[in-house]
Chain A
Amino acid sequence: MHHLLPLLVALPLLGAALLVAGGRRLPRRAAETIGCTVSGATAALAITLLLNSSPPLVEWAGGWVPVNGESVGIMLIGDGPALGMAALASLLTSAALAYSWRYFDEPPRRHAGSFPALMLVFQAGMCGFAIAGDLFNAFVFFELMSVVAYALTGYRIDEAKAVQGALTFAIVTSLGAYALLMGIALLYARTGELAMAQIGRGLDRTAVHGGPDALVLASFVLVLTGLLVKAAAVPFHFWLPDAHAVAPTPVCMVLSGVMVELGTYGVWRVYGTVFAGPGGIPPADLRRVLVVLGVLTAVVGAVMCWYQRHIKRLLAYSTVAHTGLFLIGIGVLTPEADDGIALYLIAHAGVKAALFACAGILLDRYGSVDELALFGKARQLRTVAALWGVGALGLAGLPPFGTALGKAVTEEAVGGALALVYVAASAVTGGAVLRVGARVFLGLGPRPKSDGEYETTGAGERPETRRRLSRVPDTMTAVPALLLAGALAVGTVPGFGGLVADAVNEAGSGGVVVTSVHWTVPGVLLGLASALLAVGLTAVAVTRPALLAAPDRALPLRRLQSGHIGDYVAWLLVGTTLLGVLALPGVLGA
Chain B
Amino acid sequence: MTAVPHVLPYLVAVWVFLVGCYGLATSRNLIHAVGCLAVCQSATYVLLLAVGYRDGATAPVFSDIEPGSRPLVDPVVQALALTDVVVGATVTALLLALVLQVSKRHGTVDPDELSELRG
What residues of A have a CB within 8 angstroms of the CB of B105 in the complex?
158-160, 163
The answer to whether A161 and B117 have CB atoms under 8 Å apart is yes
Give CA–CA (A242, B119) in the complex, Å: 10
What residues of B have a CB within 8 angstroms of the CB of A565 in the complex?
24, 27, 30, 33, 111
Separation in Å of the A135 CB from the closest CB of chain B? 10
The answer to whether A167 and B117 have CB atoms under 8 Å apart is no
The answer to whether B44 and A178 have CB atoms under 8 Å apart is yes
Is A573 close to B, CB under 8 A?
Answer: yes
| Minimum-distance CB pairs A-B, first 6 | A160-B105, A455-B119, A563-B118, A189-B51, A563-B117, A163-B101
The answer to whether B24 and A140 have CB atoms under 8 Å apart is no
CB interface residues, B 45-63, toward A, < 8 Å: 47-48, 51
Select from chain A the residue with minimum beta-carbon distance to B98. A167
Is A154 close to B, CB under 8 A?
Answer: yes
The answer to whether B115 and A181 have CB atoms under 8 Å apart is no
The answer to whether B94 and A150 have CB atoms under 8 Å apart is yes
Is B8 close to A, CB under 8 A?
Answer: no
Is A246 close to B, CB under 8 A?
Answer: yes
* Residue of B80, B84, B87, B95 touching A171 (CB-CB under 8 A): B95
Give CA–CA (A388, B77) in the complex, Å: 50
Separation in Å of the A242 CB from the closest CB of chain B? 5
With A147-B91, A163-B98, A175-B24 known as contacts, the answer to whether A181 contacts B117 (CB < 8 A) is no
Interface of A is mostly: helix
Is A456 close to B, CB under 8 A?
Answer: yes
Give CA–CA (A174, B89) in the complex, Å: 12
Give CA–CA (A182, B18) in the complex, Å: 13
CB interface residues, A 153-195, toward B, < 8 Å: 154, 157-161, 163-168, 170-171, 174-175, 178, 181-182, 185-186, 188-189, 194
Is A72 close to B, CB under 8 A?
Answer: yes
Select from chain A the residue with minimum beta-carbon distance to B115. A563
CB interface residues, B 1-56, toward A, < 8 Å: 13, 17, 21, 24-27, 30, 33-34, 37, 40-41, 43-44, 47-48, 51
With A72-B76, A188-B51 known as contacts, the answer to whether A160 contacts B98 (CB < 8 A) is no
Is B99 close to A, CB under 8 A?
Answer: yes
What residues of A have a CB within 8 angstroms of the CB of B34 in the complex?
171
Proximity bits, B88-118, A CB within 8 Å = 1, else 0: 0011001100110110011000011011111
* Residue of A140, A167, A566 touching B95 (CB-CB under 8 A): A167
Separation in Å of the A564 CB from the closest CB of chain B? 6
Proximity bits, A121-161, B CB within 8 Å = 1, else 0: 00000000000000010001001000100110010011111
Give CA–CA (A185, B80) in the complex, Å: 9
Interface of B is mostly: helix
Task: Using CB atoms and an 8 Å cutoff, list the residues of chain A in contact with chain B.
Answer: 72, 136, 140, 143, 147, 150-151, 154, 157-161, 163-168, 170-171, 174-175, 178, 181-182, 185-186, 188-189, 194, 241-242, 245-246, 307, 454-456, 558-559, 561-567, 569-570, 572-573
The answer to whether A174 and B33 have CB atoms under 8 Å apart is no
The answer to whether B44 and A181 have CB atoms under 8 Å apart is yes
Select from chain B the residue with minimum beta-carbon distance to A555. B119
Give CA–CA (A75, B111) in the complex, Å: 42
The answer to whether A566 and B98 have CB atoms under 8 Å apart is no
The answer to whether B37 and A160 have CB atoms under 8 Å apart is no
Give CA–CA (A562, B116) in the complex, Å: 9
Give CA–CA (A578, B56) in the complex, Å: 40
Separation in Å of the B33 CB from the closest CB of chain A? 6
The answer to whether A566 and B118 have CB atoms under 8 Å apart is no
What residues of A have a CB within 8 angstroms of the CB of B114 in the complex?
164, 563-564
With A151-B94, A171-B37, A174-B37 known as contacts, the answer to whether A157 contacts B24 (CB < 8 A) is no
Give CA–CA (A558, B106) in the complex, Å: 23
What residues of B have a CB within 8 angstroms of the CB of A154 in the complex?
98, 101
Give CA–CA (A563, B114) in the complex, Å: 7
Give CA–CA (A185, B27) in the complex, Å: 28
The answer to whether A140 and B94 have CB atoms under 8 Å apart is no
The answer to whether A170 and B98 have CB atoms under 8 Å apart is yes
Separation in Å of the A95 CB from the closest CB of chain B? 26
Separation in Å of the A247 CB from the closest CB of chain B? 12
Give CA–CA (A354, B118) in the complex, Å: 25
What residues of A have a CB within 8 angstroms of the CB of B13 in the complex?
182
The answer to whether B76 and A167 have CB atoms under 8 Å apart is no
Give CA–CA (A244, B11) in the complex, Å: 37
The answer to whether A570 and B87 have CB atoms under 8 Å apart is no
Cross-chain pairs A/B with CB under 8 angstroms, 20 sampled: A136-B80, A136-B83, A140-B87, A147-B91, A154-B101, A160-B116, A163-B101, A168-B117, A171-B95, A178-B41, A188-B80, A189-B51, A561-B119, A564-B112, A565-B30, A565-B111, A566-B25, A566-B33, A569-B24, A573-B21
With A170-B91, A188-B51, A566-B25 known as contacts, the answer to whether A157 contacts B101 (CB < 8 A) is yes
* Residue of A143, A163, A455, A564 touching B91 (CB-CB under 8 A): A143
Give CA–CA (A563, B30) in the complex, Å: 13
Apart from A171-B34, A246-B117, A565-B30, list 13 A-B contacts with CB within 8 A: A147-B90, A150-B94, A150-B98, A163-B98, A170-B91, A174-B37, A175-B21, A245-B117, A456-B119, A565-B24, A565-B111, A570-B25, A572-B21
Select from chain B the residue with minimum beta-carbon distance to A136. B80
Select from chain B the residue with minimum beta-carbon distance to A193. B76
Separation in Å of the A203 CB from the closest CB of chain B? 16
The answer to whether A558 and B117 have CB atoms under 8 Å apart is no
The answer to whether B99 and A167 have CB atoms under 8 Å apart is yes
Give CA–CA (A229, B50) in the complex, Å: 26
Separation in Å of the B60 CB from the closest CB of chain A? 12
Give CA–CA (A571, B44) in the complex, Å: 21
The answer to whether B21 and A140 have CB atoms under 8 Å apart is no
Separation in Å of the B101 CB from the closest CB of chain A? 4
Give CA–CA (A565, B94) in the complex, Å: 17
Give CA–CA (A454, B117) in the complex, Å: 10
What residues of A have a CB within 8 angstroms of the CB of B117 in the complex?
161, 164-165, 168, 241-242, 245-246, 456, 563
